[in-house]
Structure 1
Amino acid sequence: MQKQLTQTQLVRAMRISIFSGASSVVWQLVCSIQPLFNVFFQNYLGASAAQLGLLVTIIQFMGIFQILGIFLYGWIGRKKPIFMIGHVVHRALTAIIAFIAFYVARGGDSQRGIVIIIVAMGLSWAFANATSACWWGWVADIFPESMRGSFFMRRSSVIQIVNIIWFFIASTLLDIFPRSSALTVYGVICSVGAVAGLLDIVSQIVTPEPLPDSKPIFDASTMFEPLHNRSFVGFAAAIGFAIFSMNLVGPFQSPWIVNPDRIGAPNTWLGIMQMLSQFLWVLCAPFWGTIMDRWGRKPVVIAGTLLVIGWTGYLVLTPGNYFIILPLIAVVSGILSPAFWEGSNQMMLSLAPEKNRVAYVAWYLAIVGLVSAPGSLVGGLLSDALAGFSVVLGPVTFANFHVIQLASIVLCVLCAFLVSRVNEGSEKPFGFVISQITNPQIIRTFQNLDSLGRSGSAETKTDILRTFDGKSAELAIRDIIEKLDDPDTAVQEEAARALGRIPSPHSAEALILRLLDPDSDIRISAARALGKLGDRRAVGALVGCLWEPNEELQKACVEALADIGDEESIGHVLAFLRENRSERLKQVTSSAAARLGIFEAAGDIFPNLLAARTKTARRQFAISLANLLGKPDEFYQYVTGSGPVLQKRHQKLFDRFEANMLEVRLRKDRKKKPQQNRRTGIPSKGARRRPEPGCARPARLLLRAAFR
């Protein structure tokens, strides 16, 4: 069992993690396989597509060193030192990229530089992979799962803001200076990236490591345990295959865009795409984090895998339309990318049990690395093999790039299906999540949810709780349920009302618990909210509370049973009507019986009508009786309003009643009518009679009793 951090330590760890992540992205943007590095490696050093693919493949194959992390952790028993030592070496080795940029700028052999970079980055990522599982295990121990998704998505938003700024600065510098100075500029920005990468690791020294009660013991069964978990292995393979599919074409997209012989867009357009994509990442990442914490990681990952839908824009990209197509591609990527990249990591942690988390993380990263490794190499080889392919379709010339791009899209869609087959355990169906996030109202719910978490005022909380309504508010159910235990009673009551407006099983369960809790201050509000929900599972609890001594609670339960309208409650409501001595409760129960259609209650309501001591009570009983025997709510208009208006309504009622009785009598007479004499047309005995005056007497009696 891990020792948890104090709240102060946790807050400080969150701040350090955000700072280190921001430093990391400065390094990552220019010292790892990213668009700027890919352009430098292929367009300025002169590497072929196959060489770029080989570099990416070697880095991916270094994932096999993840298994070494299991042995290191089993030997040392600590996660933090393993991670920090390995990653300091990892970041230091990537400084060689800056050295090669300066070396080639001064006339050095670019092919030798390419070989040195491939070797150095291969070694660098071997150290990174051997120790990264310990980082994932470390941060999973620090941050509880209930808030991990939301925190990492907020952290991701801050990181992407830094990413936008740094990418814009770097790409602008490359465009400002002449092409002859580009290698020197790359040397400068790669040096900045290397320093930032080291700062990322060093800054985490002050973050504590929650230590287990005893040193972990690793044996063969512990090491290979993750491979026996079918859901875990299936998920790792699916994510690996998805990255393989993206890597088929991903590293070659930026060079294709800026290559003068292809699209010929300025380098600045890479910065524009990056800024637009990362800006949307910043906006959407917290939203995806909230979705993950509420509805599960898997639906989010499936949605993220479909980010390649935006890549269809590359199939119609031309030098004449890139200023329209490239922003559209960036928009789709910015919205869905955090769902895939951050969501897959969080789902991996959810599938990895705490006891053997390092082994699970190591195997996950190893499987993903090995499965995805050949992607860039295969893409590069295909690109070189199809170099002469060209088909003109309208304004678009389909080349080798388009063939590989189309294959990548098809394979990624297949990967989304593979992820859907993995069992996370508590996730909502993908269709449900999509239906929710495509509802425009969910944006307002998300904004109000954030405000609810930040608010410290009871009045503000009640105002926010009033805004939650309908299915789109299901995103906030967990937070609303927490407010049922707020110190302020007004907040508790408003939370109960809010749950009554959200049709969800979780709403009913939480309200039933509060209804049955004798110490709860919101039992009445809970009963009313259950009535609005109409969930039949609440009938038993409501019936049980009918015999509570609290008259207000009894009234709320009777009304709730009438709202639900379940047949199970009919007998209980009738018994309550007959046994209760409170005239006020008899009125409420009579109304409920009428709404439930309990015709047997008419015999109990009419004596109560005659025995009622006040005009208001008599009218209430009369309305209930009329609703039971006639059309619901139709009789109310005959007992409310000014005198002249009421007289007109009464006369219309009597006229209509007599007309109805006349029609009934005529229908009966037709059945008994004898054969007429065809010559005279005179009927024989039993001729039709006019309806007797006074057939409206029942209606008059009811009105007279109501106004007595």
Structure 2
Amino acid sequence: MTQTLTNAEKLSKLPWSIGSNALVNAFVQLTFLGSVFILFLNTLGLDKTQIGFLLSLVPYTGLIALFIAPLIARYGYKRTFVYFSILRVIFAALLLLTPFVISTLGAEVTLLFITVVVILFSLTRSVVVTAYYPWAQEYIPPSIQGKYSATNNLFTTLAGFLAVTLAGFVLDVTTGLSGYLILIVIGVICGSLAVWGVLYVPGGEPIAVSRGVMTAFRDTITALRDKGLLFFLGGVGLITLATVPLTSFVPLFLQEQVGLSSGNVVLVQTGVLLGGLVSTYLWGWSSDRYGSRPIMLSGICLLASLPIYFMLMPRHSPASLYVALGVAFLQGIADMGWVIGSTRLLFVSIVPPEKKSEYTALYFACVGVFGGTSQLIAGQVVQMSSQLSGSFYFFRLDPYTPLFLLSITFALLSLVTLRDVRSDTQVTVEEFAGMFLRGNPLSAMTSLVGYHFARDESRVVAMTERLGETRSPFTVDELLEVLADPRFNVRFEAIISIARTRPDPRLTHALIDVFNGTELALSNMAAWALGRVGDQMAIDALRVGLNSKYHSIQANSARALGRLGDTEITALLLERLNHEPDKGLQMAYASALGNLKAYAATPQILHLLDTMQNEGARRELTLALVRLVGNEGGFIQLYREARADFATATAQAATALKRKFGKTLATGNNVISTLSACADTLARDKLSEGATYLARVIETLPAHHYEPHSLTILHDCADRLQTHGAERTEYMLLTLHTLDAGWHTKES
């Protein structure tokens, strides 16, 4: 009995799989499945219908997967894959005989020869792919399916990029069929090396299968009763109808309608590969984190937009090549999103491990049917509309326009079909797309890369700070990770960074866990962070914190609840403020009551302000009273100006009050004249005399222009100004602010 592979064994051999796949991609790009082959057929003089027929043979042969799946399982996935990969390379090498056939036997026999070669290649390819899917599900751990897909696509795309770049160069410097033959030789070499590399990939041993071919076929068809699989296959079929014809016929469109040379047409394909190259890690990382479906649907949305860009492309212009490269780059991004999302969805959510043979056979057969049909339809559509020309608004009409319109239609139908297919996530495509509009996604990506490469504590702390500053939902998992870091300073910075970012339920729950923990320093920081984040979910935990045995926890809980606007604790805080002897708790309760607009707390806060010796504490108490009055921002501006030049700032504030009151009070009113004298005195830096004038303003002020709590503040300030003069500057600032912000013109 074959021993089950461990994850460690699987991971150690994955580079061989990735390397082999990269070489296979170079092989097929230079032989049958890239723009090189399409241009090769066009050079041979085949028409669009014949090209479409030949291209349809490759996917149509996928139907044999329905019958051969149990035979492959019995013979062994790996052994089948290797042997038929060798045959595939041999059949591809037969293309090198094309010049001999065409020169000795003529064009008709050449078409028959190429048809036979394509059929042989396609049959062996179908066997190889049928063996690959269940084997891949065996040797790729599900937990890293997205990461593997991203890494695999990165290297296969890079290999394809190099192959296509080479092809463009070779076709530009050669004529006739010679360039294509050189590329086929290089492709065959790459295919041979790929077979050697896959020998080191583990798994794929023979499986005892008691069923016959027809029984297995019936079991495979029975899998269609799975509605999730049925909808998935329907969506895959529709997107295949939308995209495969574009891949096949866009090279001809670029050559015939846009006016690009054969070399430049091949070069455009590098844009597709480059787009896939730069986006593969983002798609793979996102699929592992947010699930397959939003990634897959995002890719479909991008694919649906591509035909519009092709139709708007400038024709026979110096800019045509660059525009084509830009559209191709977007196509590469879209293709990669679809491939990674759909592949991960297939292996993780759609295919049960115990039925992998039946499900993957159906999948490959479905792709084959729709892929082959799309090629036949596309060839016929382009051939039938060969005389189409004209324009419609901004769009140029040509033989390829119906093909583009069909592509848009099928892509949108696929989007509708796949929206509700079962998935491993509840994240919708709208929510995923919205993540790019929140915070700074570009900074988030660079910060994530920097974080994962950071090792020493100082570097991790710095990157944690950056994670919070991006305010992006993409950094949530990393912030949760650093919150569990064994290093205290890293955890401390994580709390601060979480406070900087946008509210997220998982982050709030994590902060609550820290708050309820046993590390007092971190619990206090977590309480502060919960208040700053502003998530109402934290209220219950913070209320419990009010009864903690630690005064610091009580104080920070009160402050946080004040910021969260929890008015239900107002009565409790008022009662505690009246009886609490601890100065720190008094300050915390007063600050919270100020945030809660607890006007009943005005006398107690004024009393604290009068008796408090610490200057910093007096500033905070002043701010609590300011919040009761309103317009905190106006006070902060006055406070900052006063720190720079107290006399000038207060004089300007008094002058502004004079103008404001003058609109309501009669000219010559005692308030106006007193304010005028106050402003002049303060401007001359006579602060004590100015404080006296401010007290007189309060005494002569019409009371009906202020709310009761504002009057309480003003009268207390008048008493303190008479007592302390300009020594307690906070009273002067509080007076000026309350006179301004508390003033209203309505009658009581």
**What TM-score bracket applies, with the shorter chain setting the length?**
0.7 to 0.9
Determine whether 1:276 maps to 2:275. no
Bigger mean CA deviation after superposition, 219-228 or 15-24: 219-228
Alignment gaps of 5+ in structure 1: 668-693
CA distance in 2, matches of 1:202, 1:527: 60
Partner of 2:408: 409
Q: 1:193 aligns with which of 187, 191, 216?
A: 187
Determine whether 1:457 maps to 2:475. no
Cα 1:591–1:216 shift into 2, 3 Å? farther
Cα 1:75–1:10 shift into 2, 3 Å? closer
Give the letter aligned to residue 584 of structure 1: G
Determine whether 1:238 maps to 2:235. yes
CA distance in 1, matches of 2:603, 2:381: 87
Give the letter aligned to residue 700 of structure 1: A
Deviation at 1:563, TM superposition (A): 1.9
Deviation at 1:85, TM superposition (A): 3.5
| 1:65 and 1:366 in contact (8 A); partners too | yes
Deviation at 1:594, TM superposition (A): 1.5
| 2:220 and 2:362 in contact (8 A); partners too | no
CA distance in 1, matches of 2:569, 2:195: 65
Q: 1:307 aligns with which of 303, 309, 312?
A: 303
| 1:23 and 1:199 in contact (8 A); partners too | yes
Alignment gaps of 5+ in structure 2: 648-684, 732-748
CA distance in 2, matches of 1:27, 1:422: 34
Deviation at 1:430, TM superposition (A): 2.1
| 2:241 and 2:371 in contact (8 A); partners too | yes
Partner of 1:289: 284
Deviation at 1:535, TM superposition (A): 0.7
- Secondary structure of residue in 1 paired with 2:546: helix
Give the letter aligned to residue 525 of structure 2: S
Cα deviation code 1:470-507 (max 9, x no counterpart): 67521121122111111211112222222221322222
Give the letter aligned to residue 152 of structure 1: S
CA distance in 1, matches of 2:138, 2:273: 28
- Secondary structure of residue in 1 paired with 2:46: coil
Partner of 1:370: 369
| 1:28 and 1:193 in contact (8 A); partners too | yes
Deviation at 1:652, TM superposition (A): 6.6
- Secondary structure of residue in 2 paired with 1:95: helix
CA distance in 1, matches of 2:391, 2:422: 45
Give the letter aligned to residue 410 of structure 2: L
| 2:61 and 2:368 in contact (8 A); partners too | yes
Q: Counterparts in 2 of 1:490-529, with a 5 A limit?
A: 490-500=489-499, 501-518=501-518, 522-529=522-529
Cα deviation code 1:408-440 (max 9, x no counterpart): 233323323333343424142322333333679
CA distance in 1, matches of 2:620, 2:316: 78
| 1:170 and 1:189 in contact (8 A); partners too | yes
| 1:471 and 1:503 in contact (8 A); partners too | no
Query: Between the two proteins, what is the percent identity of the paired residues?
Result: 18
Determine whether 1:202 maps to 2:216. no
CA distance in 2, matches of 1:424, 1:293: 12
Cα 1:526–1:369 shift into 2, 3 Å? farther
Partner of 1:553: 553
Cα 1:224–1:410 shift into 2, 3 Å? closer
CA distance in 1, matches of 2:210, 2:393: 65
Deviation at 1:595, TM superposition (A): 0.8
- Secondary structure of residue in 1 paired with 2:315: coil
Partner of 1:657: 698
- Secondary structure of residue in 2 paired with 1:271: helix
Partner of 2:148: 151
CA distance in 2, matches of 1:594, 1:146: 50
How many residues of Structure 1 are paired with residues of Structure 2 in the alignment?
673
Cα deviation code 1:635-693 (max 9, x no counterpart): 7878996796864774575355345435559x9xxxxxxxxxxxxxxxxxxxxxxxxxx
CA distance in 1, matches of 2:618, 2:274: 66
Cα 1:67–1:512 shift into 2, 3 Å? farther
- Secondary structure of residue in 1 paired with 2:397: strand
CA distance in 2, matches of 1:485, 1:110: 71
Q: Counterparts in 2 of 1:160-175, with a 5 A limit?
A: 160-175=157-172
- Secondary structure of residue in 2 paired with 1:56: helix
Partner of 2:37: 37
CA distance in 1, matches of 2:435, 2:595: 33
Cα deviation code 1:106-149 (max 9, x no counterpart): 54434323323333333433343345354334334444444332
| 1:297 and 1:343 in contact (8 A); partners too | yes
Cα deviation code 1:201-242 (max 9, x no counterpart): 331222223999x97998879745742332332122112111
Cα 1:165–1:515 shift into 2, 3 Å? same
Cα deviation code 1:47-72 (max 9, x no counterpart): 22222222232322222233345424
CA distance in 2, matches of 1:418, 1:248: 20
Partner of 1:435: 434
Deviation at 1:455, TM superposition (A): 1.6
Cα 1:226–1:593 shift into 2, 3 Å? farther
| 2:594 and 2:627 in contact (8 A); partners too | yes
Cα deviation code 1:555-593 (max 9, x no counterpart): 332222222223344455456546754321221122112
| 2:292 and 2:425 in contact (8 A); partners too | no
Partner of 2:49: 50
Cα 1:275–1:382 shift into 2, 3 Å? closer
TM-score (norm 1): 0.83
Partner of 1:345: 343
Give the letter aligned to residue 187 of structure 2: G
CA distance in 2, matches of 1:84, 1:288: 30
CA distance in 2, matches of 1:511, 1:133: 49
- Secondary structure of residue in 2 paired with 1:265: coil
Partner of 2:255: 258
Cα 1:167–1:612 shift into 2, 3 Å? closer
CA distance in 2, matches of 1:383, 1:621: 79
CA distance in 2, matches of 1:632, 1:571: 23
Cα 1:634–1:580 shift into 2, 3 Å? farther
Deviation at 1:462, TM superposition (A): 1.3
Bigger mean CA deviation after superposition, 366-375 or 129-138: 129-138
| 1:313 and 1:325 in contact (8 A); partners too | no
| 1:470 and 1:502 in contact (8 A); partners too | no
TM-score (norm 2): 0.79
Cα 1:263–1:103 shift into 2, 3 Å? farther
CA distance in 2, matches of 1:609, 1:216: 86
Q: Counterparts in 2 of 1:564-575, with a 5 A limit?
A: 564-570=564-570, 573-574=573-574
Partner of 2:539: 539
